[in-house]
Amino acid sequence: MAKFGEVEHFVRSESQFSGTMYDKDEILHGSTPFVGHEDRTCIYVLIDGDSIVYVGQTSNLISRLAQHAKTKRFTRYWSVDCPRDELSAAEAEYIVKLNPAMNIHLPSNPEYIMQSAAKKMMGDWRRLQHAVRSGVVKPIHIYAGLVFRVSEIKAAMAPVALKATGRGLR
């Protein structure tokens, strides 16, 4: 151990570290800008091996990843910046597109709704079933259950859509 005022020289061959040692230029080139917590809202994806296991949104990625590390198994993550007012819509879009096993619900968003909300919107289960059978509404199967596009539900609610199929409610 060097005493105050002495210089201790780093000798690579005596180092206990066996990993790759990066130089200053490599570190600076590969770095990520630090942005204050309130300014960096993002969508993140948790990955385990080759499987996408969870999609989420946050305004503090490092803290959120630390929370997930306590309860979810993942080996890598990916993130993309997203405006705060678009977080829920973007998260829902990624959940529907990627179908991660650990997402058990969709965030409130204008594009997609879960089956229970679709039933409420249509008025009853029979009407939703009819819209699905007639092809006016196409359910999307994800781990969380059935998801429907709000625009399709609205179209199915129009009297013209139900009459156009040639089938009445039974």
Helix axis angle, 115-122 to 150-157, nearest 10°: 20
Q: Decide: 23 and 45 in contact? Cβ < 8 Å.
A: no
Give yes or no: residues 118 and 167 share one domain: yes
Q: Which of these three, 103, 124, 149, is where a domain ends? A: 103
The parent domain of residue 162 ranges over 111-170
Q: pLDDT at position 17, please?
A: 66
Domain boundary residue among 67, 85, 103?
103
pLDDT of residue 59: 92
Q: What is the CATH number of the domain that holds 90?
A: 3.40.1440.10
List, for the chain, all residue ranges whose pLDDT scores fall below the cut of 70. 1-19, 31-39, 159-170
Out of 55, 87, 103, a domain closes at: 103
Q: Is residue 17 in a domain?
A: no
Query: Would residue 137 count as lying in a domain?
Result: yes
What domain count does the chain have? Answer: 2
Q: What is the pTM of this model?
A: 0.70
- Cβ 34 vs Cβ 85: under 8 Å: no
Residue 34's pLDDT is: 59
